[in-house]
Each structure stands twice: as structure tokens, then as C-alpha cells.
Structure 1
Amino acid sequence: MPVTLSVRMGTTLLLLTCLLACDSQQHQVSTDSAPVEMRAVAAELVQQDGQWRILRGGEPYFIKGAGGSHSPALLAQSGGNSVRTWSTDNAEAVLNSAQQNGLTVMLGLRLGKERHGFDYNDQQAVAEQKERVRQLVLKYKDHPALLAWGIGNEVDLFYTNTNVWYAVEEIAAMIQELDPNHLVTTVTAGIDKSKAELIAQRVPSIDYLSINIYGGLENLPAHLDSIGYQGAYVVTEWGPTGHWEVPKTEWGVPIEQSSTEKAQVYRHRYQQGIAAAPERALGSYAFLWGQKQETTPTWYGVFTEAGKANEVVDSLTYLWTGQWPLSRAPSISGFSLNGQTAGQSVHVKAGQAVNVQLTYQPGSEDSASIRWEVLPESTDIKAGGDPEARPQAAVLTVTPTEQPGQMAFAAPQTPGPYRLFAYVENATGKVATANIPFMVDGH
């Protein structure tokens, strides 16, 4: 069922986001385990008693999803029911794994982006892209784990050529014809009045809007009212406050929330921006069910680089099931260098002994261990979730004390901006994370 956008005059609020895409006969795809029978499960968008909802296999289906395919078994155990991808890379394995764990998949169809050099005035390039997508749809459309097709991801981020929406419509209409069993959407970087109008006019073949939004999610239902959008929506990326939205140090680097603060933010934003709009919200995909370097190694992932779950996973479990897990992650309530917090723009001298105080609770365990790391401030900052290189860790000489959470370290000899990271891990393998930016001044 196509989206209908009725736009009235209202306050325009631009909600930016980052960041960070076979034939019709039944067949089988082999995996390392049992083969999966290719039999599509029909999903449709309906409006009943003034409420938009997804019916999958004829039953109401509310998306309790996460972006990323890390640890699908844990996602299912945590109460999740769907995963989102940004492309069809490794799609067969993702779909099969989802099926084996009782999950569905919003399969991303990667499109060229203007900021990467794709020209939507180039008719040949647009036609070749459409044909590539057609082949992918034919290849995966009968998989029983498939729920929806996501056409592109943030093709509107930093764009100027609005012809992209005509290309999205051509693909959406094609998919509706090729695959009547699954939902079709496109993913935007936030939503404002002018963008909503363009999509309404140029992309009538999508079923609903998919919106990536971080800070401001709690106000999304009211914002959609203000721009006149009364259709269904899915929040396809949401989570911590974005690195472009937080306070900065005096030298201009963003101050990251601790995992404890993030866990609280996830709960608040979900309850206000998704659960509070049952007549239109079809569910969401939390970001990121995995780990990535984006500004820092800990900003967006709900797992560490070692694959350890942080407090956000506990919060998502509560949001999806109504119950907290029996095993709880540690939490952090205070972090300072030489008695100063991150918001005070900490300066130290090269080689100086820096005193650290971390206040934490070990979660459901009796104790926890702390790992410390110093990284130079990242200089490989990209946009829209594009890949970034992780800084190489500085040599760290730690002088422990007898007090838990206290230690001293020698500041790097090379002047410049750095961050001290703390990883608190309890016996269940769950973690809490925090970091403080600091500036090393010359001797």
C-alpha cells in the first residue's frame, strides 16, 4: 500500500542525522547448517481502526529490530525480532542466519550517492543501477526471513540533485511488481517538510517512510504532525546522541556519553519517539548491533571490539520484553582526570602524571575489572557512517592504586588531543564504557 503524504503548513524542523543498503520458483540455498526452503512469508501494510500496522503471515508484526548482523542469537534472546542491513553484501548468510534464529530482515539495496560522485542526471548509470537492483530482488525475494526492501540509505544526505527521488520511485515501482510479498521503503537522513513533500510527489510506490534520527527522536511524532505527515513510519537508525549533536571541548572535539548515559537515552527516546505513537510507528532498528569506529570505537556500537555487550543491550531487552535481563552490565556514574570532567576541557602537560577517578557499579556481579586505553583523537572523520580508520593506541604506563577505579598514568610526550578510555567488565562478560578527551600541552 503506497504512502500518502498530506502536508500542511507548520514549523519546519530539520532533523539531521549522521552518521553510521532467482526466479519466482521455489528453490533452496545451502548453508553450513540445514538448507533453507525458499518460500516467501507475505508482509503487508494495513490500516485498521485508525492504526497503521504490518501483517506478516496474516498476523500483526511490530518491528523490534537492530541494525547489524552481529550475534543474531543474542538479539533473539534479548527480545528482538528483526535485523537491518545497508546492502546485500553477505545477504544469503544474513538471511539464513536470521531464519535460523526466528528473525526477519530488512534488506538494504545500496544506491549510489551524490556525495560519493554518483550522478542522477546520468541516465545510463541510473538504468544500470536499476538493473543491478532488479537482479538482487529476483535473487532474494522468496527467502522466508525477508520482511522489507530498503531502497538506499540516506541518499539525501548533503545532496543537491533531487532527481534521486525519481530513480528511487522507478526502483520502488519495479519491486512492487516483481515482489508483491514484501514491503518497500526508502531510508532518509531525518525528515523535514520539503523532503516529505518531494517524497510524496515523486516516490508514491513506497509503503512507508524509514527515518534515521538520533537526537530529536523523542520529538519525532510531534514533528511529523507539524509537517502534516500522517502515514506510517519506521525509525531505521536511532541510538546515542550523535557526535555532531553533543557539547564539544574548547579544542572542538565532541564529548561522548558513557554507556550508562546512552542506555538511559535509548530508553527515553524509544518510549517517546516510537512506543508513544502506536497509530503510526511500525517499529524500529536500533543502531548499532555490532561495533564500528565512528569518531571513537565506542560511540555507536552496543558491543566492544571484543564482542562484549554493554548496558544498551540491557536497555533494549527491557524495551522489547518489558523485563530486565537477569545478568546486568556494569554502570558508570563518574569519570575525571585530575579532578576535572570531560566538559571542563582537561589540559595536561606532556609526561605529567595524570590522576584518574572512575566511579562505577559492577552490575549483577560482586566485582569488575577495568581496562584502560589512550588513543590520539581521530583525524579520519567521515560523514554518513562512511568507514573510518581507528587511531593507533598510545603507549600507556599505568600506576594502579588500592582504590577501585583510581589510577595514575603518564601523559603522552607528544602534544595534541587524546582520549582516555575505560572499559569496565564483570564476570558475565558485560561491559560499561566511557572516555574523556584531554589535551596534552608542550613542556
Structure 2
Amino acid sequence: MSTLQESHGKWTLLVDGKPYFVKGVTFGIAYTQKNIDLYMDQLVHLGCNTVRTWGVGADTQMLMDSAQRHGIKVMLGLWLRHGKAGMEGDDAFDWVNDTAGREAQWTDTLEAVRKYKDDPALLMWGVGNEVILNIGTEKAKIAYAKFLEKLCLAIKKIDPNHLIASASAWTVDAAYWAKYDPAIDVYGLNVYGAGAAVVDKAVEKLGVDKPYLLTEFGAQGEWEVPKDSNGLPIEPSDQEKYSTIATGWTKWVENKPTCLGGFVFNFGNGWDHGAVWLSLMMKDYKRPMYWATLKAFTGKSPAVKPVMITQYEIQKNSAKPGDWVPISVATSGPSSGLQVSMYFNDRTGVREHRDAIFPLKIKGNLSSGIDFQVPKILGVLKIYVFISDEQKNLAIAQKSFVVTDGSGKVLTAAKKSGVLPLVVYDDDPRITGVEEPFVASGMMGNYDSLTLDLGSTDHPEDGQTCLKVSYNAYVGWVGCAWQTPANNWGTMPGGYNLTGAKTLSFWARGTTGEEKVSFGYGMIDSNAKYYDSSKKGTGDFYLTRHWKKYTIDLSGQNMSNIITGFYFFTSSNGVPVTFYLDDIEYN
């Protein structure tokens, strides 16, 4: 049983009547019956007493059982869908109109509560993660917040013995909880960097008397750091990441009277851009954040000092594909048995590509010097140097670097050059499992009144679903652009080389035959740092009530770099507008 106790402004979490301060990690690692106990052993060594998950699945019971064997509690996540594409994924649930979808989430959530409410490892429920942040319109945010309150009350009725938390990015969601969700017992706040020092004051300003947990905590993330001269977010150094956790925990977490503890992000084992930035491990190599967590929770340091990179420079600011470029790098810690490798990240294109890190060819060694060969991708890249020691510690440093064609103009290059047809939309990606190359992120005009339903089953032209566009206003105009990466208006590298494409085709239909629309591709002019190599549109016309195929001829167009893969505009003249799209593709 988990309860709360408050005395003179000091909040205490009680587990079975005893004080319990959460020393946790987010548990984002893939596990099996063979390795789950090994991971739990590591967490016990780190001084961890709690793990947090984001949702439940087929292997949740395995996690709960192992946690119980190791004396670890679980803040069990109950996932609720997001209303627009964001850091978490590309879902776009309609919280206002999708009654069936809300009912499905209600049913699934309460089924999970009934299944795990009596599990001895359960600490509390974590209902939803940054959902309001990832909803587009105010109407939808309020609809979700009201749903959340009803859901929390239903959970309490089934399980009165465990507290309920929800997780917010900073206090974005919490501002709505304060107004609509009194049933939430503990405010979960995802806070990175020194923001943890003042987030308690931000909660106070909401006018609620609630304790909080840092449901995610670590070094400043990509979304909140300044950018370098090449436009890439400046990633904190390994030393800064270590210090944020090891020192920040004592200064910003343990000494706050309304804080119940927190979760270091993230106990993972991936091998990608996000893992480099925030994961405690990468393929079983221990990152400095792993040892920082040990320091934070126990005050201890590793028996053998791990390797750390103290200096890293790329000796040129830019070069052409195939060139060899020298670097300088220095380390502290062990001086023998070190292994060096280099990788790059191209932070553009579809999620799978922009999150990946790709190996670089290198020559030389730490003693004589190291060079890397510039990859055959134009644009701004992040160049990493990885150095591991014999104890399987991994130090990483990174710098931005420009790959140029020699003209002096920064270009971007294809991620799927020549792969045609390139599908912008054909079926709800949540059904197909295929991540689409462009994101419907470029909102224009009166977009608070715009709803996009990627999974409409209202008579699709082909397949299981079509795309429903609803402009729920009586005046004004609205538009949406499909971009790569999301929200790219020419400030970030990105784009696809669609050289060889002859047409951009799509199917469309209206509901009344009076919907005035225009469609096209390419919106970013060459005066931007990154731009569409061409653009073309249909001009204004009226849709019919029946499906009709439309084609934009690409003959003579420079298709070498398309950032804006598709767009539409529509306007209302006294009547809301609804129309449908399907099978948008380049051929």
C-alpha cells in the first residue's frame, strides 16, 4: 500500500506505513527471462529502489516478479495516446471526436489495473506521459484532461491502495491537472538539468498542495539546449552529464520538502542518438551516467576509474565526401587497453534514420593521431568519437561538422535516394507499422481549429484507412505541410532526393463538393539555410463528393532535395470544412 503524509509543508511517501524516498531509474531496456535478473542485480548495486515504466505489455509480469525478488518497487505506467507527433512518436489521436478510441483506452487501462493492483512490487500508477504537451488544440487538451480525471477516479475505485501519478514535461500538463484533475495524487514532472532546482517553485505557482516526483531526470535534453554555429543542438559533455546526476541529485532532489524522489533517465541499452545523450548503458558498456547514478544513490564511486574524454576537436570545419579529416582527442583514466571508433548522426529524415548512428572509417590510433573519412552525405552531421576501456566503460564526445559539395552552399542529401514510389500517406502508420517519410507538422493559419485523423475508416479510397481533414471554424484559413524533419521551415538539414520522380499523385474527396482547396509540395525558398530544391502546386479548386485522383507533373523539376513533401490549404466561408485524402505518393 502507498500513501502520503504531510506535516508542516513536508511531504513523505509511505509504503506499508514506512517512509520511502524514491531512488529510481526509468526502465527502458529490452529484457528476457535470461537477463532480467542480471539487470535487477545491477540496479541493486546502483542503490536503486524503484523503476518506472511507461506502459504494460506481455512481459510486464516478468518485470514485476523480478523486481519483487530484488526488493525493487515499480511505478507502473499506463500509456495514454498522444494527439500529435512529437518526441515520443508519431501518434495523432483525436481526443475530441474519437469516442471508440477513448473507450478502448479506458477498457485497456482498467484491465491492466485489475491485473496488477495486488502485485507486491507495485508502488503506484503512472497514468499517461506528457500527453497534454503532445496535443495540438486547446479543446483537445481539455477533453483529455477531463477524460484523465474520470479515469483516475475509476482506477481509485478498483484499487484504493495505490497512489496515482501522471507525468508532465516540466509543468505543461500539470497546469491542466491543477484545474481539471484533483484525483491525481502525485505530480510527475520530467525535468532535465538545473531546472530541477526550481521546479518546486513552478508547482507552487499552480496553487495546488501536491507533492511531486521527478519522473525523468538527467542532463539537459536536445529540445532545450542552445544550438552551435552549424545549427545543431549542443550536447552536454560526459563530464556535465555525470555532474548533473551525481551532484544535482543531492542539491536539487533530496533537499526539497515537496519532492518524493525521482527517476534517472534512462536505464537503457540502445545504440543510437538518444542513447548517446541519455542512456546509462549502450550495448552493456557503462556510460558515465551509470556511475553518476551510483554516486547519487549511494555516495560511492567505481573501484576502477573509468575512461573519460577530456578534449576533442575536429581539425577542419567542413570537407567534401571521401576526404580524410584529422581529429585531436585526449582522455583521463586508464591509458592502456583503450579502443577507439567513430560514428556520425544525420539528424534528418524519418525517425529511424535521424535517430541512427552510422560507423565511420578511421585510420591511426590515439598515440599517432586519428583521421576519419567524410561520409557521402551532404549537410550538417554530428561526428562522434567513442573510446572504451577494458572494464567496458564507454566515453563519448561529439562535434558538428559540415559536409559540402565544394560550392560553399550547405545542401542536404537524400536518405532514400531513388527509392520510388515514395509514399507520403496510404494507410494509418499505426496499422501498417511503416514510418512515413514526412511528418504532418507544419501548421499554418487558424490551426487550433484543425484536426487530422490519420486513421479514418470513413470509406477510404484504398486500404483500411484514409486521412480525414477537419477545419472546425466558420471563417479564416488553415494549412498543413508534411516536413522532414518535423517542424522544419528551413532551419534544419533534411529532405529527400527524389530525382527521377515523374509525378506526385493523391486521391481526394469532399463531403459537400464545395470545399475550396489547394495542394502541392515544396514551400521553403532558397533564401533559407536549408530549402526545397523545387516547388509546385495545384492552385485553388473545388473538390467533388467522390474520390478523384489528382496528379502534379514533375517534368523539369529539380527534385534533388525535397523537405516539404506535401501540403494543403483550405478556407471556410461560414461553414466548417471536412475533406479526405488517400494514397499520396511520388512515382
Fold conserved (TM > 0.5)? yes
Q: Describe the SS at the equivalent of 1:423.
A: strand
Matched, 1:309 2:286: yes
- 1:139 aligns with 115
Q: How does the TM-score come out when normalised to structure 1?
A: 0.80
Matched, 1:330 2:307: yes
How many angstroms apart in 2 are the aligned matches of 1:150 and 1:253?
Answer: 33
How many angstroms apart in 2 are the aligned matches of 1:206 and 1:432?
Answer: 40
- Which structure has the highest strand share of the two? 2
How many angstroms apart in 2 are the aligned matches of 1:270 and 1:58?
Answer: 25
| More off after superposition, 89-98 vs 114-123 | 114-123
Task: Find 1:157's aligned residue among 119, 127, 133.
Answer: 133
How many angstroms apart in 2 are the aligned matches of 1:169 and 1:252?
Answer: 41
Task: Find 1:359's aligned residue among 324, 327, 330.
Answer: 330
Opposite residue 215 of structure 2, the aligned amino acid is T
Task: Find 2:358's aligned residue among 384, 390, 393.
Answer: 393
- 2:318 aligns with 347
Task: Find 1:102's aligned residue among 64, 71, 90.
Answer: 71
Which runs of structure 2 are paired with 1:237-248 in the superposition (5 Å)?
237-248=216-227
Matched, 1:436 2:399: yes
Q: Describe the SS at the equivalent of 1:186.
A: strand
CA displacement, residues 258-279 of structure 1 (integer Å, 9 cap, x when unaligned): 32221112234323431230x1
- 1:84 aligns with 52
- 2:158 aligns with 178
Q: Describe the SS at the equivalent of 2:348.
A: coil
| More off after superposition, 318-327 vs 101-110 | 318-327
Which runs of structure 2 are paired with 1:35-434 in the superposition (5 Å)?
42-68=1-27, 70=29, 71-89=39-57, 90-115=59-84, 116-121=91-96, 122-159=98-135, 160=137, 161=140, 162-191=142-171, 196-215=174-193, 216-277=195-256, 279-292=257-270, 295-304=273-282, 306-338=283-315, 346-362=317-333, 365=334, 367-380=336-349, 390-391=355-356, 393-400=358-365, 402-403=367-368, 406-434=369-397
Assess, with a 3 A threshold, how the Cα gap between structure 1 residues 130 and 388 changes in structure 2: closer, same or farther. farther
Opposite residue 418 of structure 1, the aligned amino acid is L
Opposite residue 188 of structure 2, the aligned amino acid is S
How many angstroms apart in 1 are the aligned matches of 2:147 and 2:366?
Answer: 62
How many angstroms apart in 1 are the aligned matches of 2:348 and 2:217?
Answer: 25
8 Å CA contact retained: 2:27, 2:266: yes
8 Å CA contact retained: 2:192, 2:219: yes
How many angstroms apart in 2 are the aligned matches of 1:388 and 1:212?
Answer: 26
- 1:35 aligns with none
How many angstroms apart in 2 are the aligned matches of 1:424 and 1:401?
Answer: 10
Q: Describe the SS at the equivalent of 1:52.
A: strand
How many angstroms apart in 1 are the aligned matches of 2:348 and 2:110?
Answer: 39
Q: Describe the SS at the equivalent of 2:246.
A: helix
- 1:32 aligns with none
1:348 Cα offset (Å): 2.5
Identity fraction in percent:
27
1:296 Cα offset (Å): 4.7
8 Å CA contact retained: 1:400, 1:407: yes
How many pairs does the alignment contain?
A: 384
8 Å CA contact retained: 1:294, 1:300: no
When Rg is computed on C-alpha atoms for both structures, the one with the higher figure is 2
How many angstroms apart in 2 are the aligned matches of 1:171 and 1:431?
Answer: 43
Assess, with a 3 A threshold, how the Cα gap between structure 1 residues 390 and 69 changes in structure 2: closer, same or farther. closer
Opposite residue 154 of structure 1, the aligned amino acid is E
How many angstroms apart in 1 are the aligned matches of 2:343 and 2:111?
Answer: 47
Aligned CA RMSD, in angstroms, stands at: 2.3
8 Å CA contact retained: 1:218, 1:270: no
Assess, with a 3 A threshold, how the Cα gap between structure 1 residues 85 and 164 changes in structure 2: closer, same or farther. same
- 2:484 aligns with none
1:413 Cα offset (Å): 4.6
8 Å CA contact retained: 1:356, 1:408: yes
Assess, with a 3 A threshold, how the Cα gap between structure 1 residues 394 and 307 changes in structure 2: closer, same or farther. closer
| Unaligned runs of at least 5 residues, structure 1 | 1-41, 341-345
Larger RCO, structures 1/2 (Cα 8 Å, 6+ apart): 1
Opposite residue 114 of structure 2, the aligned amino acid is L
8 Å CA contact retained: 1:156, 1:189: no
Opposite residue 95 of structure 2, the aligned amino acid is Y
Opposite residue 332 of structure 2, the aligned amino acid is Q
CA displacement, residues 210-244 of structure 1 (integer Å, 9 cap, x when unaligned): 01122422221233334444420001012121112
- 1:24 aligns with none
Assess, with a 3 A threshold, how the Cα gap between structure 1 residues 313 and 128 changes in structure 2: closer, same or farther. same
Q: Describe the SS at the equivalent of 2:110.
A: helix
How many angstroms apart in 1 are the aligned matches of 2:344 and 2:176?
Answer: 43
Opposite residue 172 of structure 1, the aligned amino acid is C
Q: Describe the SS at the equivalent of 2:300.
A: coil
How many angstroms apart in 1 are the aligned matches of 2:15 and 2:62?
Answer: 22
Assess, with a 3 A threshold, how the Cα gap between structure 1 residues 282 and 212 changes in structure 2: closer, same or farther. same
How many angstroms apart in 2 are the aligned matches of 1:366 and 1:334?
Answer: 15
1:103 Cα offset (Å): 0.7
Q: Describe the SS at the equivalent of 2:293.
A: helix
8 Å CA contact retained: 1:79, 1:320: yes
1:318 Cα offset (Å): 1.1
How many angstroms apart in 2 are the aligned matches of 1:238 and 1:102?
Answer: 22
Opposite residue 178 of structure 2, the aligned amino acid is A
Assess, with a 3 A threshold, how the Cα gap between structure 1 residues 57 and 381 changes in structure 2: closer, same or farther. farther
Opposite residue 336 of structure 2, the aligned amino acid is S
Q: How does the TM-score come out when normalised to structure 2?
A: 0.62
